[in-house]
Amino acid sequence: MVGNAHPTQMAEARVESIDALKLFKTALVKFAEGTNVAIGDSESEVIRTINWLENEQTTYWQTQVRKRTEIIGRCQEAVRMKRLYKDSSGRPQSAVEEEKALKVAQRMLEEAQQKVVAIRKAIRRIEKDFPLYKGSVQRFATDLVVLVPTATAHLENLVLSLEAYTSLSSPAEVTSTASIAGSEATGIDHGESMKRAVDEAPKSDEAPKTEEPPQEEAKKE
């Protein structure tokens, strides 16, 4: 009861936009579907990354370590041969170019070795953090599976209730509307009819008129 309203008077609900609830329900369903897809894609991407590191990258850089080690051996042999044999004049040969090539090969070998170490660390780190990620995301995914259907069902019931409420009309309002519509259809003005009936009724304050008897004509002389 609000203010001095009658106890049996029901407050009216202010329904502005049922379509907004329908749009929100649709958006909620799409959000849940998109989120589930994103969670599945992220887990698949992590698994693909682990497989890529363990297989393709590990194999590639281990092969590079072996090949670059062989290159270093050839460069070292070239430097040794330069220093071992003298030129035609009997002087030691310059091994500057061979030593430069050896330094480049050594840097490339260090790079490959660092890659192998980094790959191993990355694999261990991902394998350690991945279960923690799955645990936190799984709680969120469970909430989506449980709460979103409940929320959408509640919204659907709410929409149906509001549609039913807005389709109702008061009986008194219907009767009044029907009476007015009937008067307009027959062209009858109830106010004018009542006025004519009052004017035609005899007034109680006026005495009824009586006709006087006709006077006898005067006798002729």
What pLDDT is stored for residue 57 in this prediction? Answer: 96
Q: Tell me how crowded residue 2 is: count the other CB atoms within 10 A of its CB.
A: 6
What pLDDT is stored for residue 103 in this prediction? Answer: 94
Judged against a pLDDT cut of 80, whether residue 12 lies above it is answered with no
Q: How many domains does the chain contain in total?
A: 1
Give the integer Cα–Cα distance in Å for 104 and 78: 14
Confidence of residue 200 (pLDDT cuts 50, 70, 90): low
Task: Specify which of 117-121, 207-211, 213-217 reaches the highest per-range mean pLDDT.
Answer: 117-121
Task: Specify which of 32-36, 65-69, 183-187 reaches the highest per-range mean pLDDT.
Answer: 65-69
Residue range(s) defining the domain that contains residue 137: 18-167
Confidence of residue 77 (pLDDT cuts 50, 70, 90): very high
What pLDDT is stored for residue 166 in this prediction? Answer: 84
8 Å CB contact between 58 and 174:
no
**How many Cα atoms are found within 13 Å in the side-chain-facing hemisphere of 122?**
16
Confidence of residue 7 (pLDDT cuts 50, 70, 90): very low
The verdict on residue 129 lying in a domain is yes
The verdict on residue 3 lying in a domain is no
Mean pLDDT score, 50-78: 95
Chain Cα centroid distance, residue 82: 73
The verdict on residue 190 lying in a domain is no
What pLDDT is stored for residue 59 in this prediction? Answer: 96
Judged against a pLDDT cut of 50, whether residue 154 lies above it is answered with yes
- More confident: 14 or 111: 111
8 Å CB contact between 99 and 30:
no
8 Å CB contact between 112 and 65:
yes
Confidence of residue 199 (pLDDT cuts 50, 70, 90): low
User: Residue 28 is encoded by which pair of tokens?
Assistant: 């909620």
The verdict on residue 193 lying in a domain is no
- More confident: 65 or 187: 65
- Alpha-helical regions (H) of 52-170: 58-84, 96-166
What are the φ/ψ torsions at residue 188 (nearest 5 degrees)?
A: -95, 130
The verdict on residue 119 lying in a domain is yes
Judged against a pLDDT cut of 70, whether residue 44 lies above it is answered with yes
**Furthest-apart CA pair in the chain: how many Å?**
203
The verdict on residue 91 lying in a domain is yes
The verdict on residue 108 lying in a domain is yes
Mean pLDDT score, 193-218: 50
Judged against a pLDDT cut of 80, whether residue 31 lies above it is answered with yes
The verdict on residue 210 lying in a domain is no
Q: What percent of the chain has pLDDT over 70?
A: 69
- What is the residue-averaged pLDDT of the chain? 77
**How many Cα atoms are found within 13 Å in the side-chain-facing hemisphere of 127?**
10
